[in-house]
Amino acid sequence: MTSPSRMDPQGEPAPWPALTWEEQTWIPSSDRALRPGARTPPTSYRSAVPPFIHDRLPRPSPRVTELAAEAANELSRFDAELGARVSGFAPVLLRSEAASSSQIEDLTASARAIFSAELGIATGQNAELVAANTRALRAALELAESISTASILQMHAVLMASQPRHTPGSWRQEAVWIGTRSDSPQGATFIAPHHSRIRDLMEDLVTFASRGEVPALVSAAVTHAQFETIHPFTDGNGRTGRALVQSMLRHRGVTRNVAVPVSAGLLADVNGYHAALTAYREGDLDPIVVAVAEASLRAVSNARHLVDDIDRIKAAWSSTLTARRDSNAWALLDVIARQPVISAAAAAQEVGVQTPNIYPPLRTLVDAGILKSKREHRIGPFWRSDEVLAAIDAFAERAGRREIT
């Protein structure tokens, strides 16, 4: 694999290269024949040829470089503040990131539906897909020690496990494009590279992502944009690419305890996010770095609001609950704050008791108005905190606004 030098002849970082394009032939499948014995004639189209970037030095403008550094610092500060309380907020923030990333792909579901889907309760396809995205994000963080093609394939395998038609954990072997037609790339706004290029491009990508001299947030933004340009899978590229951002932030030590929901920040301007990806493909780094940096700053503000909301809810619970201090009802308060829809078996495991022994404290919380109970067909009863679920839904609503107050 070869690549242009990262320096120009004067020893300065070279401008970021734009895409080039190559001609391809589109041969419609036989099941799209116009009539028996007749077929749609082959047509030509141009697919992207991304540059190799492993030895290129991204150089955003000074203003954007400063913004990226500020955003990285804010992410680290927020992560450090939650370090002592990570067990209470990491799961909620992880699911908030999964839901926000999915919403960018128009996959929306309420907090109650998402948490219920994780318990196996049928709440709709979207909630199940968001639950799968949560698992993919968890895998991304667990694999953050090494950014590799193997770890990226594993993220995708977890994300798409229930959709075998999209070959979970395997590079695509067919053309993909972004456009209004599903039967042809004609008229598409972007046609990803030919599948024969993916393996080399992905090896190049992870080499770039592993370079420590590139500022962390700049590296994450560029890696994400290059990943989305390669589009290595038939589906799930956006969600996998945003999980990769979380993995890189953990890998570089920007975050150590939580997955700050950066995708929630991107939701404030999805069109701008997509325009930034287009600008990247044309050789302009600034917009995608700005998009990720500003999304990070919005995410921290929004996440602080969510944490404050849950803290207030827990404080109100403490003033409401009159059970003895040695009752497991008190231990359940922390569990419910991070898992606001829960089964008896899950609650018992969290508290460390046998399942029959968890029912009395659950009833105590229901009697105190802290939990509500519902029997689900074929699964049995589960319990939920409408207050925490409302706080998480409010987080999602704020994520769609340009201003967070």
Binding residues for ATP: 235-242
- Are the beta carbons of 65 and 293 closer than 8 angstroms? no
**Residue 6 CB-density burial (10 A; 0-12 exposed, 13-18 middle, 19+ buried):** middle
Separation between Cα atoms, residue 88 and residue 168, nearest integer Å: 32
Pairing of strands 380-384, 43-49: unpaired
- Are the beta carbons of 51 and 19 closer than 8 angstroms? yes
Structure tokens given for 270: 């999805």
User: Would you call 224 a catalytic residue per the annotation?
Assistant: no
Q: How many CB atoms lie within 10 A of CB 390?
A: 16
| Vertex 277 angle, CA 253 and 234, to 5° | 90
Contacts of range 158-162, beta carbons closer than 8 Å, 24 or more positions apart: 158/132, 159/132, 159/133, 159/135, 159/236, 159/239, 159/240, 159/243, 160/132, 160/233, 160/235, 160/236, 161/132, 161/135, 162/128, 162/132
DSSP H stretches of helix in 321-385: 328-338, 344-351, 359-367
Choice among 156, 231, 251, 274 that is catalytic? 231
Question: Going by C-beta distance under 8 Å and a sequence separation of 6 or more, which residues neighbour residue 161?
Answer: 132, 135, 168
Q: Hey, CA dihedral for 343, 347, 352, 357, is it positive or negative?
A: negative
Helix/strand number for the chain, H first, E second: 15, 7
Residues labelled catalytic: 231
